[in-house]
Amino acid sequence: MNDFLTEDEVRVKAAKILKLDLSAPNVMLGTGQLTTFNQLGFAGVSDKPDGWYLPYNHVNPAVVLECKSSDKSLDKSAFVQELLKNCGIVKSKYDKVVGILYNGYELRVFQSKPKEEKNGAGQFCECAGERELKNVEHYLSLFNRIPIDKGVIFNITKRINELLHFKFQIKNLYHRMIFTACALVAKRFGAVLTHGMDFGLFQMSVANTLKHSYSQEVSQNDKLNELFEVYSSIQMNNPDDQGALDEFLDNIEKISEQLNSDFWNGEDVMAIFFTEFNRYKRKADHGQVFTPDHITSLMYRILGVQPKSVILDAACGSGAFLVKAMCNMIRDVGAHSDQASHIRQEQLFGIELDREIFALACANMLIHKDGKTNLKHLDARSAEAAAWIRKLPVDFVMMNPPFEDKYGCLDIVGNVLDNVRQGTLCGFILPDTKFEKNRKRAQRLFARHRLLKIVKLPLETFVEAVETSIYIIRAHEPQNGQQIFSCAIRDDGLETIKNQGRQDIHGRWNAIEDYWTEVVYKQSGDSSVKWLAPTEPWHYPAQRPPLVLRTSDFQRRIVKYLLYRNGIDELSFKEAVLSHVLFQTNLPAGFGRFVLTDAREDQPIDTHGWKPFSCADLFAVYKGKRLTKKEMQKGDIHYIGATAFHNGVTHVIGNTGCLFEPNCITVCYNGSIGEAFWQTERFWASDDVNVLRPKLPLTMKSALFFTTLFYLEGQNYSYTNKWKKETMEKQTMLLPVTPEGKPDLQWMEAFIEKLLQRYQ
């Protein structure tokens, strides 16, 4: 039987549990029977609450406490009416109010309804499942239990992007993201952003809120105010469109409700913004790649991060890994625990070099309720970054460093590994061939640190279809001949949604993540598991499917060549054919003969008896030389560049310093990788192109056979795994052979001739 508690004893107990007996900034809180609502700022109201939590910012939720002795049943309607009367008084200033009725053992909780749900039934509803009194933070969070709909977020983001791009004319991608993010941060910290306010007042409200919200953090981290500085520097050409501003504010309100939900699971808001805002950017910056949410979750789990772990991301970008780690750790310890505050303030550290991306990371952390953003605006390759890292008690590193060498990929990796504590487990997402292409540096790296595991990611993980893996390395533990575990995730279950990136629309990822977490932990359990010797290539041994040749592969290359020879623009041809198929329009004269519609003509080619030949045995391979537009002189010489059209011709020039004679094959290894063309005139090749001079007597027909093979092989390469001269020379290709075992050029010519006849 419960001990009897007087009303005063209940009030003291409630104050301690709710923490109304402590002081807090920017809020009036307390308990007692002497304080009137009039004294609390509700003029003329003499009623006295038993407890109160009243933020100075009326946008934030308020809490009202009503206590009864423990022998009083809370079912009595008069007690409920007394509480709701007090809640109604507070409701005159606060839209969000929680009322708590408590007798020391029993509890009833009432929450104000959203504006759109208020009706004749009253302004408050009782919360189900509230049986134990908790910290006041728990009751404030009741307003954050909004189901997440990422489709809604993408649609709202789309509208915001179009407003900023077309109405406000903010052309810079990152400025649009920062402008939006700052409005969301200001909203989270209580800025009054209302329908009808003019642009100057809006700007001032956001700026003042940012400065106020950073006032304490800046004293601890003087780089945080760069978010405010970047925001203040954003210029727009048309700020006076009141209708556009009102629509922007409405959308900020809607997306803010979604992002403040407790159902949010650490998804990277900036990645969602980037996916949408990037639609108006012609070419993505390969140096800045946003990590998909499901991969940040996988990294967290396969590294074995715990709630007490300290995390570092020294190339944090928008903060995806830090946000995911923060949300996962807080979920495990409870959102309103003391440990949650410690996680936010002391366990998450990041470095970002790009000033605008750094500002986005600061905003992202604050949007996700980060208490103190331990971010540094530094070059992760620098001695200053090394010194800062050495001071941190880092347990785990989670990183997706910039892939390209010009951004210092391995410099960053090395600087991090060399300066974290001994035994720190580090996870890096890297292109599969990054260590192989820098073998000497990798050997020095693994003389000091140990590569434990390689987890190959699906090709579709990143937009640019880069072959990547998670490399798990233990710092300051030499390799010493130890084998390396590797496995390959073939499918992540995600599908591409137009303008919304790849999403888990079928709900498959959770099971897939569980499966691969167990495989990596046990180091067994999947057929893809392989153990690599440290002398082998430092990437998962990709097994490409055997090349299957079809008639259509050669037809495509033949048509491209014939269109070029007949002076027909390929893009115009494709548009005309598409219009003909969809809308039955007439094809321009001469176009019809290049269109084949009988799918039965597409047959697999029997390659039984063919043999592999090295490219170096068949061709002498040369690298082209770049010319800038300023260096190009007027003339009629073809300049072959990184394009898939016009037989590779991008300009006509008069320069003669580095020309190639006709009857060569050109192959793009950067840009339109694998695009191969037969050149019949003297030409200049850019440095994105390899030039293959035949060692065999090729004709146009046999050359078209080879350009098809080069194109198909080229699809196995990417911008981070370029088909450079040295790699191409080692390339082998399967060819028909004569009885003497030599390439059968006569068979190739006859095969192409038969296909050419279809276009006569």
The pTM of the whole model exceeds 0.75: no
533 in a structural domain: yes
Q: Let me know whether 179 and 97 are in one domain.
A: no
Position 365 pLDDT exceeds 90: no
C-beta contacts of 633-638 below 8 A and 24+ residues apart: 637/682, 637/683, 637/684, 638/679, 638/681, 638/682, 638/683, 638/684
Residue 685: partners with Cβ closer than 8 Å, 6 or more residues away:
622, 624, 625, 639, 640, 660, 666, 691
CA distance 80 to 68: 11
Question: Mean pLDDT throughout 190-209?
Answer: 83
b (16+ CB within 10 A) / e for 484-509: bbbbbbeebbbeeeeebbbbbeeeeb
Question: For 96, what's the count of Cα atoms within 13 Å in the CB-facing half-sphere?
Answer: 15
CA distance 711 to 552: 13
Q: Let me know whether 347 and 295 are in one domain.
A: yes
548 in a structural domain: no
Instruction: Tell me what pLDDT residue 218 has.
Output: 47
Question: Mean pLDDT throughout 390-400?
Answer: 97
C-beta contacts of 46-50 below 8 A and 24+ residues apart: 47/85, 47/86, 47/89, 49/86, 50/11, 50/14
317 in a structural domain: yes
CA distance 368 to 261: 10
- Percent of the chain residues topping a pLDDT of 70: 89
Collapsed DSSP state (helix, strand, coil) of residue 17 = helix
Instruction: Tell me what pLDDT residue 405 has.
Output: 82
Quick: pLDDT tens for 528-557: 999 999 888 888 886 666 778 999 999 999
Question: Mean pLDDT throughout 316-322?
Answer: 87
Q: At what angle do helices 173-188 and 269-277 cross, to 10 degrees?
A: 140
CA distance 543 to 554: 25
**Residue 282 confidence class, pLDDT cut points 50, 70, 90:** very low
HEC string for 287-332: CCCCCCHHHHHHHHHHHCCCCCCCEEECCCCCCHHHHHHHHHHHHH
State the DSSP H helix or E strand holding residue 99, giving kind and residue range, or none if neither.
Answer: strand 97-102
273 in a structural domain: no
Query: At 324, which CATH number?
Result: 3.40.50.150
Residue 576 corresponds to which tokens in the numbers above?
A: 């005309």
Position 370 pLDDT exceeds 80: no
Least confident interval from 260-274, 277-291, 584-598, 693-707: 277-291
Instruction: Tell me what pLDDT residue 260 has.
Output: 63
Q: Decide if 426 contacts 299 (C-beta within 8 A).
A: no
Q: Let me know whether 507 and 613 are in one domain.
A: no
335 in a structural domain: yes
Query: At 706, which CATH number?
Result: 3.90.220.20
721 in a structural domain: yes
State the DSSP H helix or E strand holding residue 358, giving kind and residue range, or none if neither.
Answer: helix 355-367
**Residue 286 confidence class, pLDDT cut points 50, 70, 90:** very low
Q: Let me know whether 491 and 605 are in one domain.
A: no
Q: Let me know whether 465 and 506 are in one domain.
A: yes
Q: Let me know whether 469 and 527 are in one domain.
A: yes
Query: At 25, which CATH number?
Result: 3.90.1570
Q: Let me know whether 155 and 119 are in one domain.
A: no
Q: Let me know whether 421 and 446 are in one domain.
A: yes
The number of distinct structural domains making up the chain is 4
Q: Let me know whether 124 and 195 are in one domain.
A: no
Q: Decide if 366 contacts 185 (C-beta within 8 A).
A: yes
Q: Let me know whether 433 and 418 are in one domain.
A: yes
Instruction: Tell me what pLDDT residue 651 has.
Output: 96
Query: Of 84, 114, 144, which one is at a domain's C-terminal end?
Result: 144
Burial of residue 147 (number of CB atoms within 10 Å: 0-12, 13-18, 19+): exposed
Q: Let me know whether 157 and 16 are in one domain.
A: no
396 φ/ψ angles, rounded to the nearest 5 degrees? -140, 145
CA distance 292 to 45: 53
Helix ranges (H only) for 467-606 are 509-522, 551-565, 570-583
| Cα-to-chain-centroid distance, residue 21 | 43
Angle at 410 (CA atoms; ends 405, 416), nearest 5 degrees: 140
Query: Of 205, 229, 264, which one is at a domain's C-terminal end?
Result: 264
Q: Decide if 102 contacts 110 (C-beta within 8 A).
A: no
Instruction: Tell me what pLDDT residue 398 has.
Output: 98
**Residue 148 confidence class, pLDDT cut points 50, 70, 90:** low
Phi/psi region, residue 637 (left: phi>0; alpha: psi -120 to 50; beta: rest), is beta
1 in a structural domain: no
Position 724 pLDDT exceeds 90: no
Query: Of 144, 175, 209, which one is at a domain's C-terminal end?
Result: 144
- Alpha-carbon Rg of the chain, whole angstroms? 33
Among candidate residues 241, 245, 263, 242, the one with its CA nearest the CA of residue 253: 245
Q: Decide if 40 contacts 75 (C-beta within 8 A).
A: no
Residue 388 corresponds to which tokens in the numbers above?
A: 């800062």
Instruction: Tell me what pLDDT residue 228 has.
Output: 75
602 in a structural domain: yes
> Residue 43 is part of which domain span?
7-144
Q: Let me know whether 292 and 357 are in one domain.
A: yes
Question: Mean pLDDT throughout 342-355?
Answer: 91
Q: Decide if 49 contacts 91 (C-beta within 8 A).
A: no
Q: Which residue has the tokens 């990136």?
A: 501
**Residue 276 confidence class, pLDDT cut points 50, 70, 90:** low
* Bridge partners of residue 54, in order along the sequence: 28
